[in-house]
Structure 1
């Protein structure tokens, strides 16, 4: 499984052309945690054995991640066998014909920004990110729509915060986390501004498994 191989990516993405697999993936992708075969089979309306077959195909391609946990978090003797669970995979897949490597461009820009001694380049990238967010917010007229179209996957919490389940800058996060978080923060602030909302609602609050920005409710009277 080579993430830089467009032919391999195409073959793996082609798995989603099957209606059942696409429905399985579309059910699992927005979940905040992992789900079992039974959960998926019930939600999609197929048998458990058919769900298991298609789920393992998606997992083999890296589109899903597999873990094991006992039912209801129980442990110890008599708690039952660990159940196989599935969550959306972290592997990024992109296909372009002819091949284009935009992740490479992102890494080059991030490396150059980290190496720029004055910080002017980093500041310019943040300004560009904010402007792009503002433009998208203005065009969308709605913050959630703007963030969704940019790939952030916004979701509301019980406290009415908005968390972002996906980081569009994921390809540079591992080696350039500070830069990626600053660009995310600038973009979201811009999107808030463009949607006529308070940019200060966006807070940098890094946490594993989601984007580093949290958007708090608007408490203005």
Structure 2
């Protein structure tokens, strides 16, 4: 791992140590569409100037990405300049002290499983994932808390199904989609079973920008 890469990751994670920046980052991350400074300031209870300062620092750290757009319905002469907007960066940031490369290990292992023509290793992985979901779940917590703590960012905003806005295995899923999504699906089936819920609620429904699994029904 290159030194400048480590330094950038440390600086990015360090940017979230400030409570105000963490609130802004969490708010922007909770939205599917780019967020305007005014909206972020209002949602986090700070002035627009302060919010803009912290948002730009988060963008400089690589945690947010920026774009410019006018509000819907505003255009043409006199509409003013497009406003700066922020969205969570697709770039992953992690820090390990001392340096460890579990990501490389995971990529090597998934590549090896994908290369197994017999399908036996894949079956063993799916079985192990479902068993791990059952074993490691904490039924004393709500299902929403369980999913949130595992990094899925669950949302039932549409009132019908629970979508998972983040995939904890995103990078691996990009390279080995079928394998990783199948493992993820099995893991969530195990989590549901541990919570006394119906494992069949977990279904594969790949969509751009979110986890490949959807849970039918609401919390």
TM-score above 0.5: yes
Contact 1:137 1:193 in 2 (8 A): no
Instruction: For residues 126-176 of structure 1, give each alpha carbon's deviation from its aligned partner in whole angstroms, at most 9, with x where no partner exists.
Output: 111111111233544532222222111111132331110110111212211
Residue 7 of structure 1 deviates from its aligned partner by 3.0
Q: 1:137 to 1:89 in 2, by over 3 A?
A: same
Q: 1:3 to 1:165 in 2, by over 3 A?
A: farther
Residue 75 of structure 1 deviates from its aligned partner by 4.9
* Map of 1:67 onto structure 2: 67
Contact 1:36 1:86 in 2 (8 A): yes
* Map of 1:15 onto structure 2: 15
Instruction: For residues 74-119 of structure 1, give each alpha carbon's deviation from its aligned partner in whole angstroms, at most 9, with x where no partner exists.
Output: 5555554322211222221111111011111111111101111111
Q: 1:4 to 1:94 in 2, by over 3 A?
A: farther
Contact 1:206 1:213 in 2 (8 A): yes
Residue 54 of structure 1 deviates from its aligned partner by 1.5
Residue 4 of structure 1 deviates from its aligned partner by 8.7
Structure 1: 5+ residue stretches without partners = none
Is 2:170 the partner of 1:170?
A: yes
Q: In the aligned structure 1, how far is the partner of 2:198 from the partner of 2:113?
A: 28
More moved, 17-26 vs 55-64 = 17-26
Is 2:27 the partner of 1:31?
A: no
Contact 2:11 2:61 in 1 (8 A): no
More moved, 38-47 vs 137-146 = 137-146
Contact 1:71 1:80 in 2 (8 A): no
More moved, 86-95 vs 138-147 = 138-147
Contact 2:126 2:183 in 1 (8 A): yes
Structure 2: 5+ residue stretches without partners = none
Q: In the aligned structure 2, how far is the partner of 1:192 from the partner of 1:75?
A: 48
| TM-score of the two chains, using structure 2 as the length reference | 0.89
3-state SS of 1:87 partner: strand
Q: In the aligned structure 1, how far is the partner of 2:26 from the partner of 2:3?
A: 21
Q: In the aligned structure 2, how far is the partner of 1:177 from the partner of 1:3?
A: 31
Counterparts of residues 67-106 of structure 1 (less than 5 Å):
67-72=67-72, 74-76=74-76, 79-106=79-106
Q: In the aligned structure 2, how far is the partner of 1:42 from the partner of 1:31?
A: 14
Q: 1:75 to 1:129 in 2, by over 3 A?
A: farther
Instruction: For residues 36-91 of structure 1, give each alpha carbon's deviation from its aligned partner in whole angstroms, at most 9, with x where no partner exists.
Output: 00111122232222222221111122211222322026555555432221122222
Q: 1:170 to 1:140 in 2, by over 3 A?
A: farther
Q: In the aligned structure 2, how far is the partner of 1:114 from the partner of 1:17?
A: 39
Contact 2:8 2:61 in 1 (8 A): no
Equivalenced residue count is: 217
3-state SS of 1:86 partner: strand
